[in-house]
């Protein structure tokens, strides 16, 4: 159905955005190299992919949980409210946990010492981590926005009050 097709499309969108972000961060400056490593680590850990799968199934379940007796405009408004707020909080928590985890893991594995001994200052390291996390958040926002649009289009195709099917009145006469 729409959830499986949506999942494939959103994962493909995320993969394309990751490739685009790697291309944009392909410069030889230390900040870009650190940011690129953050993106690579997010893909390696599959944290972002898990988020996308959870988001698609959550977005697919949300229209089914809305009351079909409510007017269609209220269902669409409720869906948009819950979907955007839910996506925002999930992305915010994911980025927060991922950002803390990536720095803590580098300290634990002593990777940070190898990075800092190169000609990379502390502010470049922090800026690179921030840039990588921001690019990851932007990619996830695009994917969640696409998912919300996809499921809003699904809701738009449902019949409103007084319609036998979408855009067709019960009597078959007039516009809805």
Instruction: Note the pLDDT of residue 81.
Output: 92
In tens, the pLDDT along 18-49 reads 889 989 888 888 889 889 988 988 888 877 77
Instruction: Note the pLDDT of residue 53.
Output: 76
Q: Each residue of 71-100: b (16+ CB within 10 Å) or e?
A: ebeebbebbeebbeebbeebbeebbeebbe
CA nearest to 59, candidates 155, 138, 129, 132: 155
Mean pLDDT of 143-171: 76
Beta bridge partners of 163: 169
Residue 3, pLDDT > 60, answer no
C-alpha span between 45 and 26 (Å, rounded): 21
Backbone φ and ψ for 158, nearest 5 degrees, come out as: -85, 150
In tens, the pLDDT along 61-119 reads 887 888 877 888 888 888 899 999 988 998 998 899 889 988 888 888 888 777 777 78
Quick check: 35 and 128 in contact, CB under 8 A? Answer: yes
Tokens of 14: 């995320």
Instruction: Note the pLDDT of residue 92.
Output: 92
Please tell me which of 45-54, 100-109, 159-168 the model is most confident about, judged by mean pLDDT: 100-109
Residue 152, pLDDT > 90, answer no
Instruction: Note the pLDDT of residue 49.
Output: 74
Beta bridge partners of 165: 168
Tokens of 8: 């494939």
Q: Which H or E element spans position 142?
A: helix 122-156
């Amino acid at each position: 159905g729409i959830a499986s097709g949506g999942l494939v499309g959103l994962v493909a969108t995320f993969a394309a955005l990751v490739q685009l972000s790697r291309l944009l961060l392909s410069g030889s400056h230390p900040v870009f190299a650190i940011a690129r490593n953050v993106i690579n680590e997010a893909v390696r850990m599959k944290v972002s992919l898990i988020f996308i799968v959870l988001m698609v199934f959550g977005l697919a379940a949300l229209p089914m949980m809305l009351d079909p007796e409510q007017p269609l405009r209220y269902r669409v408004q409720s869906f948009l409210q819950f979907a955007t707020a839910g996506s925002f909080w999930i992305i915010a928590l994911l980025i927060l946990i991922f950002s803390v985890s990536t720095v803590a893991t580098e300290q634990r594995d002593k990777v940070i010492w190898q990075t800092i001994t190169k000609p990379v200052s502390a502010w470049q390291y922090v800026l690179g981590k921030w840039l990588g996390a921001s690019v990851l958040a932007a990619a996830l926002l695009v994917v969640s926005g696409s998912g919300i649009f996809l499921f809003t289009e699904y809701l738009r195709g449902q019949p409103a009050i007084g319609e036998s099917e979408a855009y067709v009145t019960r009597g078959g006469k007039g516009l809805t």
